[in-house]
Amino acid sequence: MYELVQVAPHTYYINSPSKVGVYVEEDNSVWLIDSGNDKDAGRKIQKRLEENGWTLKAIINTHSNADHIGGNTLLQNRLQCQIYAAPMENAVIGAPILEPSFLYGGYPFQKLRSKFLMATPSQSQDIAQADLPEGMEILPLGGHFWQMIGIKTPDDVYFLADCVFGENIVEKYHISFVYDTKAFLETLEFVKTLEGKLCIPAHAEPTEHIAALAEINQKKTEEILERLLTICQTPKNFETILQEVFTSYGLTMDYAQYVLVGSTIRSYLSYLFDAGKVEAFVENAFLLWKTV
């Protein structure tokens, strides 16, 4: 774990639970793509940079989930690097309690204020202000989180963050976090068109055939949407829907899964409502959902 893997002349990744991209300029200055899940990840990343005589210039955060920004604080404090992200992601990077607050829908109780859902704060800037290496491109990858982005390095390697998940994750956990279902499906169609040397999702093995993995994620999303339509054949409140989703997929409920899967199911219901496939109405002080 945390071994450095070279995939192109100037492009590497650090093989960690959430893969970290590394682009090395000619002067041995480095642009990181994300920073791992916590300060320990930050320490290991720093060690890899020092072993190669590289200087950290900047971190690009693809989005503000805690497992992608957890190393920011340590690396910024030790190495005085710049951090860049999209504007809405910067709000969470600077005030990480916004993530569990958003997921829970109120002030998060102590069990939700953990490093899994809440990183330590760091100072970041709008990615539009970054003086990127020549040939590096920013790709909008909407759907998973507020304004998630991907990076194409000048070596034609794509870092795709959480827009797709590995087949093993999809089949084991079924429901990966999605904020905007419509944008998520549009992004899956977009990544099918990418042409380059290699695609590196954060939670899947690097692949030259990203379209196949995007298709797997798309089919699972469509499967979940159809399951919700089946569940809502009779009017149900949200907690009942969530319980039936967990039961039907054999998922284990805990605090984190309650907010992550729960938020995703709410997003799916919103998508179905906007598409005219379910209706929502209040009855006996319950908000009920029913397939149209």
Beta strands 20-24 and 3-6 are unpaired
Count Cβ atoms below 10 Å from residue 248 Cβ, excluding itself: 13
From start to end of the chain, where are the E strands?
3-6, 11-15, 20-24, 29-33, 55-60, 82-85, 125-126, 137-140, 149-152, 157-159, 198-200, 236-237, 278-283, 286-291
Length of the chain: 292
Q: What is the pLDDT, as a whole number, of residue 1?
A: 86
Q: How far is CA 219 from CA 4, 38, 168, 266, in A?
A: 33, 32, 14, 19
Identify the DSSP state of 290: E
Q: What is the pLDDT, as a whole number, of residue 133?
A: 98
Cα 190–Cα 14–Cα 21 angle in degrees, nearest 5: 40
Torsion of CA 111, 123, 263, 246, to 10 degrees: -50
Task: Going residue by residue through the chain, which has 292 residues, state the pLDDT in tens, using 9 for 90 and above.
Answer: 899 999 999 999 999 999 999 999 999 999 999 999 999 999 999 999 999 999 999 999 999 999 999 999 999 999 999 999 999 999 999 999 999 999 999 999 999 999 999 999 999 999 999 999 999 999 999 999 999 999 999 999 999 999 999 999 999 999 999 999 999 999 999 999 999 999 999 999 999 999 999 999 999 999 999 999 999 999 999 999 999 999 999 999 999 999 999 999 999 999 999 999 999 999 999 999 999 9
Q: What residues are paired with 289 via a beta bridge?
A: 236, 280
| 245 close to 238: Cβ distance less than 8 angstroms | no
Q: CA 39, CA 126: separation in Å to the nearest integer?
A: 23
Q: CA 123, CA 93: separation in Å to the nearest integer?
A: 7
Domains of the chain: 3-137 (3.60.15.10), 223-291 (1.10.10)
What DSSP line would sit under 65-94, residue for residue?
-HHHHTTHHHHHHHH--EEEE-HHHHHHHH
How many Å is the Cα radius of gyration of the chain? 20
| 162 close to 203: Cβ distance less than 8 angstroms | yes
How far apart, in Å, do the first and last CA atoms of the chain sit? 49
Tokens of 59: 């971190």
Q: CA 204, CA 10: separation in Å to the nearest integer?
A: 21
Q: CA 246, CA 261: separation in Å to the nearest integer?
A: 9
Q: How far is CA 221 from CA 6, 165, 228, 234, in A?
A: 33, 12, 11, 22
